[in-house]
Every structure is written in structure tokens, then in C-alpha cells.
Amino acid sequence: MNHFAIIVAGGSGQRMGSTDPKQFLPLGGIPVLMHTIRAFSRSTPGMEIILVLPEAHIHTWNTLCTEHSFSHPHLCVAGGNTRADSVKNGLNAIAAGEGVVAVHDGVRPLVSKEIIRKGFSLASSGHNAVPCTEIADSLRQITPMGSTPLDRSVIRGIQTPQCFPLNVLRKAYQSPSFRNFTDDAQLVESLGFAITLFEGSPENLKITTALDLQLASLLLHSDSESE
């Protein structure tokens, strides 16, 4: 079965206090995004990887690939005005009629091969698979009267890669309202498809702040020492 990964990397470095897009910031000596692509490339031989970047960032990315001799195969396409538009552009770059597809945040560089393979395995069986983690903090919901506690035992944090049969995700992105959703699973679910949750990992963190980048660096260093 054909395997595809759409890696969406349209973020900026604003919350990082950086002028460089966060996906291009160095982590362990190479840009964050290279770790992400390498994780997918190594998890499943022959996978087709589609990288979606803002058009203004593509030249910078090509330069970085040359500087770091980065040779993991991938197709780079221009994104759209929203994340949803970017995912749709990535889908449009897939020529195959059948297969399974993962949509992943470019700034989740420490995703494990086990999570990637589990998501694809579930999608290959017809499931719409989404990794999740338990919530460690106590939660409260803001209300007009103040706030009220939530039962964290029935709440999960959602991660990527979110994996789907290719025909399901294509059908979802044919919906006129696809731009109303910031999460692919929510879009798919809105059409009546069930979502299957599976266990993710706290290490599969999304880098949005300088602290996230520091933590990712520590985790990367720890993993390299254990090998």
C-alpha cells in the first residue's frame, strides 16, 4: 500500500523571539524540520513525503538542504493562506488514487517511528488514527460565571501525525467548509467518520516557544546518549 506524509511547516519565529521561522531553527546542529522529515523517511521505506512551506520560504529551505547535505527524498510544494489550504495543496500533489496519508506538524521533530508506524497501520485497516496523551495538569473551563473544573481522566491532548485512508482525507477536503477546521481529525469527523485514538508520547512535543526548543534539545541529547 502507498504511504504518504504531508508535513506542514508554515510557522514563524515570533513566539520564539526569533526572526527565523521556527522550523528552520537549529536543533542538534541541523534545522528542526530536517529531524521531522528524517523521522518519517526512516520509519517507512519508500514513503512519499510532501513538505508544504510558505512560498517565500522555499528558497531558504533549498539553501539549507544544500548547506547540510540533506538528501532524504521529499517533494516541496507551496502552502496556502491557512493551514487547511496548505494541507489541501499537499493532497493535490499526491498523484496516486489509493493509499494512506499522514498529516504532521513540521515542528514536531521528535516523533518516534513507533507512533508513525502505529498510525499508518491503523489507517491501513480503515481507521482514522490520531495519537493522544493523557493530561497531567488539573483543568478548568472558563464560564460566564467564572470557571468550573473538568475531569481530566476523560480528556486527551491531541498530537500529530494524524493518519487516514487517502480517499477519506480527500473527501474531507472536498467539503466547502474545510477551512473552518484547524485540525484534520475534526474535519474528517464532521463528515460522519469515526476517529480512533492511540497512544502518543510526551516527547512528541510541538516546538512553539524557546523553552520547547530547549526541551527538545535535551531529549535529543538524551536519545543520542542511549543509542
What pLDDT is attached to residue 10? 79
Amino acid at 41: S
- The DSSP code for 53 is E
**pLDDT confidence tier of residue 204, bands split at 50, 70 and 90:** very high
Cα separations in angstroms, 42 against 113, 124, 145, 190: 8, 19, 51, 33
**189 C-beta neighbours (distance < 10 Å), count:** 16
Alpha helices in the chain (DSSP H): 32-43, 58-67, 83-92, 113-124, 166-172, 184-190, 210-226
CATH of the domain at 7: 3.90.550.10
Measured CA angle at 57 (ends 51, 58), to 5 deg = 55
pLDDT, one tens digit per residue, over 57-91 is: 999 999 999 999 999 999 999 999 999 999 999 99
Is residue 110 a contact partner of residue 123, using CB atoms and an 8 Å limit? no
pLDDT of residue 11: 60
- Please state the pTM of the whole predicted model: 0.94
The pLDDT value recorded for residue 18 is: 60
C-alpha cell at 119: 498510525
Q: What is the mean pLDDT of the chain?
A: 93
pLDDT for the residue 16: 54
The whole-angstrom separation of Cα 57 and Cα 25 is 13
% of the chain with per-residue pLDDT over 70: 94
* pLDDT (mean) for 142-164: 96
**What's the total number of domains in the chain?**
1
Can you give the residue range of the structural domain that contains 60?
3-226
Mean pLDDT for 137-143 is 95
